[in-house]
Chains A and B, each alone.
Chain A
């Protein structure tokens, strides 16, 4: 690769962001790319499945210890993926957003990413864009493409819409643009349709749908990615396809987020559809998705 590709992955907490990101990193490394994954979440559990379930010391741990030793911030994971965790304060104290800013500044100012010179850097960022700190990876000069992971849950889409507002805000000043939506935990056709419709209404695109799968859960419990734990599974192929799509995706969008009330109105119509579908299923009539667990 001539130019380093830097992407950020956002999405509501618990939606499968770190799972998707780690599988994406693993799949990219299988495609012979040098990958660095930077977890931007004070829980510092972004890269654990790349490290056989073992946590790593965080950038913030180093800051806190007052150590000037910056050679123990990057740890090797599955197939040579470079793993970094920004880290942050204990729950309920301090400011996690400032922690992310400080960690990224530290990595940047000390040339840590440049020294390793990966082909691809992936920032896995906590939940919603709740404050300026969590918007740092999408601001000028860090990530250039943003992907967002969402299910068809209203609150997950709501978080995506908020992220779009953040991207829109920084788009005029050289910030990252949207690479696409990754639909996750998909088990029904109507869920796909809902996410697709959202992408059309916001003038964006869906780069991949990742079905709900027990293989993912099983591998996570074993402390590994699906790519590592079940390389021959259908699910692993989905992640590999996602990786190829990300590599080939040269498009970037300035999204057109919904206003809050418009989003609620839009979601209401879709949720009725989903409920109707569930009812049909419950009454013994199979839905037409053909996909599922």
Chain B
């Protein structure tokens, strides 16, 4: 108990800084995604990526939103009260991300922006829930969870390749864990991320504060 209090006091400045970050988290999301959108519009980048300024532009932005969510969400470390603030911040981040993606609707004929909102919503739910759960245990756990989420989102495609190459088996079912892969292969399944997000947020909100424990 004493050591925990000391840790809290010692990291007080860090916590207040992270709280300030959380306040401007939506600005970070919107600014980053707008920057990505502008970057993709640059000729050399566009040609290097093989993109055109039509539906592909918004799709690239959606991929960026899904991939950057684990990096852009900055939870406040602390007790239950902070978890509630994290929940509100996560909702604001998801909303800012959605608004930025929909801003690029001028380039598309179809409704890919709206169609992917459910996927982006559950991705934000899972990412923010897991990071908020980590934030209940301290800043180091936030970093660890961030790495774990990045691995969970990024590595299934690699595992699938390795399974195909060395075991002759398909790991296609792992697409449910990786929103980018699911979007690219049109095999979107919301349940695993929804379940992970719901469980993580339940844990983050239900765990007793460490001081009281």
Q: Do A and B come from one complex?
A: no
Residues of A at under 8 Å CB distance from B?
A: none
Residues of B at under 8 Å CB distance from A?
A: none
